[in-house]
Amino acid sequence: CGVKEVFMQIRVLFFASCADIVGHREQTVELAEGSVLDDLMDAVIREHPRLEPIRKSAMISLNQDYAEGGAALSGGDEVALIPPVSGGC
């Protein structure tokens, strides 16, 4: 009997230009247990390649706290992609 890989679901929220690029404001992404934020970003960009230029400049929150790419994910987490804001004084 082989080892069965366990998956978790992550809710991804898209704001501003990110939502315009993907065509919706949220989606659920399924990842293997033990995945980190960078793994999630890789999966989202595979599905929506036009997000690649925003990856380095977007702020990413994990459960409403800003997070770095190595942050561990758990099933049911909420991740938000917030593109840089332009304009201002």
Segment 46-84, tens digit of pLDDT: 999 999 998 888 999 999 999 999 999 999 999 999 988
Between residues 89 and 42, the one the model is more confident about: 42
| Predicted pLDDT of residue 87 | 45
SS (H, E, C) 22-86: HCCCEEEEEEECCCEHHHHHHHHHHHCHHHHHHCCCCEEEECCEECCCCCECCCCCEEEEECCCC
Q: What pLDDT sits at residue 1?
A: 58
- Give, for 18, the enclosing helix (H) or strand (E): helix 16-22
Give the pLDDT score at 89.
Answer: 43
Centre a 10 Å sphere on the Cβ of residue 34 and count the other Cβ atoms it contains.
12
How many of the other CB atoms lie within 10 Å of CB of 42? 15
Quickly state the pLDDT bin for 85 (edges 50, 70, 90): confident
How confident is the model over 1-58, as pLDDT tens digits? 566 678 999 999 999 999 999 999 999 999 999 999 999 999 999 999 999 998 888 9
**Which tokens go with 12?**
């991804």
The pairing of beta strand 78-82 with beta strand 7-14: parallel
**Which among 30, 33, 62 is positioned nearest to 46, based on CA atoms?**
30
> Which comes out higher in pLDDT, residue 3 or 85?
85
